Amino acid sequence: MVTEEKHIQLIEEIKNLYVEDKKRLQYAQKMREKEFCTVCDELQNFYEQEKEVLNQHITQFISQYSFLNEKSSLQIINKHKQETYHSSFLEYLWGNKASFGCKAFYDFINDILTDKESWVDTIKQSSYKVFTEEYIKGQRKKGLNKKRIDLIFVDEKNKWCVIIENKIESKVHYSDNRSQLDNYFDYGKRKYKGFHQLYILLSHTDNQKHEKGEWKSANYHQVFKSLLKYHTEDSLLRDYLKTLFALLFPNEQMNNYSTHSLYQGMLFYNCIISKIK
């Protein structure tokens, strides 16, 4: 039989267990809070360190390339989306007239090719010529509106040619299930028989695709990257880089970015720097 004394003793034991369990839970909570505060402090320190590194990188980029926010000559005359103007600039900037031209063109080609070919190294010899708006003879009956190749790079000495079709806002033209690129490809195969040949569809937009005839796809971010490192060497190049920046980032202004937060810094990096560096 359970006596009153045993009842009291049992209650006291339960009370003590409750108190001890409460103390244990309070201690565990304090330890978790302490660990949480430690993690927060570490995270805050990491955040500040990362923000500092990123901000320094961004500040350096803006300082080095602040000229990109200025208007270019093509913007002023509202021709920065005209393909023929871009082709004319690239004829000079990737050609032999500029001291850095062959190096920039070499960088551009290397960025496109997944497997490097031996003839590409001869670009550095600067023995090639560049032609714009090359008329394709014998194409009058094809029914295509576009009969000129935008850019052709030809090296007679090393036997290679690069044919580039340039698209800003226009699309590849088709007639009777045959595109202008098919004609350009046939022309290149016929005229430069025995040459190493590379065909490039250079497009400002991502929707330009053409799988027939061994055409490689390229974009204007790659053009920008090939030229940016030489920006101090030529005033005409800097002017064209302004055009490219306005073309590629029409809604982005470097001065609009505040680097007070890691998020804003990452926006700047992802939207601009990662695409052109």
Is the residue at 24 inside a domain? no
DSSP bridge partners of 165: 201
Is the residue at 83 inside a domain? yes
Is the residue at 212 inside a domain? yes
Is the residue at 19 inside a domain? no
The SS3 call for residue 219 is strand
Question: Could you say which DSSP state residue 261 is in?
Answer: S
Is the residue at 11 inside a domain? no
pLDDT per position as a tens digit, 167-226: 998 888 777 777 888 888 989 999 999 999 999 999 987 655 655 558 899 999 999 999
Predicted pLDDT of residue 11: 80
pLDDT per position as a tens digit, 138-163: 544 444 444 789 999 999 999 999 99
Predicted pLDDT of residue 61: 85
pLDDT per position as a tens digit, 44-95: 887 777 777 777 778 888 888 989 989 999 999 999 999 999 999 999 999 9
Domain that holds residue 203: 72-253
The SS3 call for residue 215 is strand
Residue 3 has, within 13 A of its CA and on its CB side, a CA count of: 3
Q: Could you tell me which of 190, 223, 250 has the C-alpha nearest to residue 112? A: 223
Higher pLDDT residue, 58 or 103?
103
Q: What is the pTM of this model?
A: 0.78
Higher pLDDT residue, 146 or 232?
232
Is the residue at 120 inside a domain? yes
Is the residue at 175 inside a domain? yes
- Total structural domains in the chain? 1
Q: Does the pLDDT value for residue 105 go beyond 90?
A: yes
Distances 76 to 44, 70, 236, 242, 256 between C-alpha atoms, Å: 46, 10, 15, 11, 21
Predicted pLDDT of residue 208: 58
Is the residue at 145 inside a domain? yes
Alpha carbon distance 237, 93 (integer Å): 7
Alpha carbon distance 97, 111 (integer Å): 22
